[in-house]
Amino acid sequence: MEKSDSPSSRRNAVKKIVATTSAMAGLSLSHRIEAAEQALETQLKGKVNHSVCRWCYADIPFEELCKAAKRIGLASIELVGPEEWPILKKYGLTAALPWGAGKGIEHGFNDLTLHDELVASYEAVIPKVAQAGYNQIICFSGNRRGLNDEKGIENCAIGLKRLMPIAEKYKVTMVMELLNSKVNHPDYQCDHTAWGATLCDQVGSENFKLLYDIYHMQIMEGDVIATIKKYQKYISHYHTGGVPGRNEIDETQELNYPAIMKAIVETGFKGFVAQEFVPKRADKLASLKQGVSICDVA
């Protein structure tokens, strides 16, 4: 521990914040010190909007995760349904990419027989997403089931075009996730960035974009930084994860996340980057904080 990071030095810094912050004037001394300490914890660089995927911390009560997210400096907890949106609001958090429609990963827009059901599902939830103050919702291609790539794009475009008027009306972007079909999601069709970009062109609306999952695309195609630069206009959201194993994104895995994040920032990206790794360590929240720190580039 550096001398400047000692407990006494930290305490002195907290006391200075307490003494000079008028917004804390109505609080008791102990509460003012606690608030100041939290402020020190959450000083991030401001170039990246940080989020986290709920399912990776499913064993932590949701309100406890919300409190931890605020301490760490996260602005969002995502992949949560409408029943949890009021809790996010209670803690001043958003859902950068909410859940709430569709039939799951395997049954998506490449299946023409599902279109009526999928369209009805998204038509019901998109106004709710907008009312809650959110501007994106996740969707999936579905599994191939023998469908070739060209037909898969054609089928997805047919269904998604039906939803673009309501998405545009409510200013909500439907975001299709790029997933690997080698390890985690066998037979999933939207498994290459070029396929997803071609689908975006076919849909022809700014309200349909891609979720570039760095973990999944490293497995499928690698060349992450060059791919991000090439396809940046199609991407509205990012997920992290260590390769191999989808665990912590530190030196225990093969990806250079600081370099990847700098490349994302350099594209002018203003959306969210969500931690979607499954912590191996006992202190899961410490791993989450570490992941955010690794991705918080200047």
* Rounded CA separation 258/249 (Å): 10
Is pLDDT above 80 for 4?
Answer: no
Q: Which domains does the chain have, with CATH numbers?
A: 1-41 (no CATH), 44-295 (3.20.20.150)
Q: Maximum distance among all alpha carbons in the chain?
A: 67
User: What pLDDT, on the 0 to 100 scale, is given for residue 41?
Assistant: 52
User: What pLDDT, on the 0 to 100 scale, is given for residue 215?
Assistant: 98
Q: Which of 11-15, 29-33, 71-75, 290-294 has the lowest mean pLDDT?
A: 11-15
Is pLDDT above 80 for 182?
Answer: yes
Is pLDDT above 60 for 135?
Answer: yes
Confidence of residue 2 (pLDDT cuts 50, 70, 90): very low
CB burial of residue 278 (10 Å; 0-12, 13-18, 19+): middle
* Rounded CA separation 78/97 (Å): 5
Compute the mean pLDDT over every residue in the chain, rounded to the nearest whole number.
90
Confidence of residue 111 (pLDDT cuts 50, 70, 90): very high
Q: Where are the alpha helices (DSSP H) in 171-256?
A: 193-203, 214-220, 224-231
* Rounded CA separation 93/291 (Å): 19
User: What pLDDT, on the 0 to 100 scale, is given for residue 9?
Assistant: 40
* Rounded CA separation 277/41 (Å): 22
Task: Compute the average pLDDT of residues 249-278.
Answer: 98
Q: pTM of the entire structure? A: 0.86
Confidence of residue 66 (pLDDT cuts 50, 70, 90): very high
User: What pLDDT, on the 0 to 100 scale, is given for residue 26?
Assistant: 52
Confidence of residue 11 (pLDDT cuts 50, 70, 90): very low
For residue range 15-52, list pLDDT tens digits in order: 443 343 444 455 554 454 445 445 445 589 999 999 99
User: What pLDDT, on the 0 to 100 scale, is given for residue 43?
Assistant: 82
User: What pLDDT, on the 0 to 100 scale, is given for residue 228?
Assistant: 98
Q: Which of 24-28, 126-130, 157-161, 169-173 has the lowest mean pLDDT?
A: 24-28
